[in-house]
Chain A
Amino acid sequence: MPGDRVHGKFDDLGRFTDPSVLILTSLSDGPRHGYAIMTDVAAFSQVSMEPGTLYGALSRLEKRGWIRPLDTGQRRRRYEITAAGQAVLAEQLTTMQQVVRTATRRTATDQAGPATA
């Protein structure tokens, strides 16, 4: 199952799993440099990402080929998401949507009272 494969890859990212999703999401809107990614992530998710975390995740995403650097030689280098990165992000979002749907349904059931046989 492709989803399992993607999860496996994301699991390898360890503590950078969540920042990776946020970074890929940010880059889905177009290429950004490091500080722009931090401000964008903070704007759409209210997550305040620190530079150490950001560049830990960026280096891993780049190594896996899910993002690539632009503006070679520039101090303020931008990154763009690759096709592989988009596929991985899509798989991850699918899983997250499934989690959200399940959690929403179960929360609604709890509010309506316990199910009866």
Chain B
Amino acid sequence: MKRPALAARLSRALVGCYPPRWQQRYREEILDVLDQHQASARTVLSLGGGALATHLDPDYRLEYPVSSMRLRLVIKVCSRIILVAAAGAGLLAGLYFFARVIGLPDFSWQPNPTSGASALAVTPDQRLLATEVGGEPTSALVTLWALGPAGLRRLSAFEGGVTVAIAPDGRLVATSSFHGQAALWNVARPRHPALLSVLSAGSSSALWGEAFSPDSKLLAAAYGGGAALWDVTRPARPRLLTVLNAHVGQVTSSDIAFSPDGHLLALASGNGQVTIWNVARPARGRAVATMSGPRRAGWFTALAFAPGGRLLAGVTTSGTVLVYHLGDPARPVLAAIRRSLVTRALYPDGAGATAAAPTGCPGCLLPGYALRFAPGGRALTVVMDRGISNFYSRDTVLTWPVTASGALGHDVEATRDTWDGLPALAPDGRTVIDGQIFGGTKVRLWELPATADRAAS
């Protein structure tokens, strides 16, 4: 410091920075010393350091009890945060060491798209499609697609498994976690999906189906004997409302559907039965009716409510289509039945007139089914995808006009050869979506020909 006068002024000012009680005792003395001392930069530094040290002196810190308490609180909180962070880092390091050095099984997601599609879901506005490929929780791949006039555009992919549902508002996708529980993903930004929560209902049986309510506020997650109903209005913190226990056997491939007003939930619950639950008050959901399909018709593999909610259609594994009238949901009335339609799903050479797979295609799976009412509710369409070989199949699509009471008129048929796949019908009731069962993540769309429209008109 080149200007002694400045150093002297700074030094005198710094004396005023000492704690008040210290100043009462030493201020005059130290000012007297400064009057005689040639102040320099060292003098300023010495007084600055002294003032700071005195403020930190426990004897003088007692002059500021509130600050002291705050300081102690800050130190306490910070030390705990550091402790927890250190413990967490140590735990992670330990887990990493065991997993990588000692060689525990690899729990990382390893997508295996060669095992084919096992679930498809479309938003009501038909803008987003989610496909699930792989089937195993640790290897399955959920792919999000944009559906538009130009066809399909792949948006993103993330881990999932077994099942997939997409919320009608297009903001959430439900799939399953590594441990077979329902998992919610935020797809509001579909190119950047993010896992929000894993929903554990405490069920030991496997998750096989999921459905969102029409208002996107509820998620039904179906397990072996029933379904868990979740409030997903805050998807990062879903709330379990109730578990609907159907007390029936395990099902392998089935369906679950909400009525358009969200008051009813239809659950294909094994043993060829469909249970209708009243979920108008979701926390107090109760079974109101159970319907059984014909003997030897197999189990219900796809369900659909008509737009008005008064008709429920289902198709069984043998291709038997049933339509129930739900004027009183507690007393469903079977309004129409079309038996064993799988025999209509013929192969190109005319074979396959029985429900069993023809000779020469031992690996062919049971037919895949999809059904949906047309938007106006005046037509019902069923898609049957029947394998020709392990890689190719034929979609047979039947469309019936439907009356308000649920009676079916004469059907119109359309066919298309495609790959062996899992079919779905888009909400417009005219677009058939095929996912590959073997060999990849591809999706194929085709429009039903005009002949099918005539049935609906």
Give bound CA distance, A15 to B56, whole Å. Answer: 14
> What does DSSP make chain B's interface, helix, strand, loop or mixed?
helix
> Which residue of chain A has its CB nearest to the CB of B28?
A75
Nearest-CB distance from A80 to chain B (Å)? Answer: 15
- Whether the Cβ atoms of B50 and A56 lie closer than 8 Å is yes
- In the assembled complex, which residues on chain B have CB atoms less than 8 Å from the CB atom of A59? 22, 25-26, 54
Q: How many residues of A contact B (CB 8 A)?
A: 19
- Whether the Cβ atoms of B29 and A52 lie closer than 8 Å is no
> Which residue of chain A has its CB nearest to the CB of B50?
A52
Nearest-CB distance from A54 to chain B (Å)? Answer: 7
Nearest-CB distance from A39 to chain B (Å)? Answer: 9
Give bound CA distance, A75 to B34, whole Å. Answer: 12
- B186 contacts the other chain (Cβ, under 8 Å)? no
> Which residue of chain B has its CB nearest to the CB of A54?
B33
Question: B274-295: contact bitstring with A at CB < 8 Å (1 yes, 0 no)?
Answer: 0000000000000000000000
How many interface contacts (CB-CB < 8 Å) are there between A and B?
59
Give bound CA distance, A75 to B30, whole Å. Answer: 9
- Whether the Cβ atoms of A55 and B26 lie closer than 8 Å is yes
- Whether the Cβ atoms of B30 and A50 lie closer than 8 Å is no
- A104 contacts the other chain (Cβ, under 8 Å)? no
The residue that A63 contacts in the complex, of B11, B32, B59, with Cβ under 8 A, is: B59
The residue that A52 contacts in the complex, of B25, B36, B46, with Cβ under 8 A, is: B46
- Whether the Cβ atoms of B54 and A38 lie closer than 8 Å is no
- In the assembled complex, which residues on chain A have CB atoms less than 8 Å from the CB atom of B53? 15, 56
- Whether the Cβ atoms of A35 and B49 lie closer than 8 Å is no
- B47 contacts the other chain (Cβ, under 8 Å)? yes
Most chain-A Cβ atoms within 10 A of its Cβ — which of B29, B32, B42? B29
**Contacts A35-B37, A52-B45, A59-B54 known; 18 new A-B pairs at CB < 8 A:** A33-B29, A34-B30, A34-B33, A35-B32, A50-B45, A51-B30, A51-B33, A51-B34, A51-B43, A51-B47, A52-B47, A52-B50, A55-B30, A56-B53, A56-B54, A59-B22, A59-B26, A76-B32
Identify 8 residue pairs between A and B in the complex whose beta-carbon atoms are under 8 Å apart, listed by A's number. Answer: A34-B29, A38-B33, A50-B45, A52-B48, A55-B26, A75-B28, A75-B32, A77-B29
Which positions in B face A, CB cutoff 8 Å? Answer: 11, 14, 22, 25-26, 28-30, 32-34, 36-37, 42-43, 45-51, 53-54, 59
Which positions in A face B, CB cutoff 8 Å? Answer: 15, 33-35, 38, 48, 50-56, 58-59, 63, 75-77
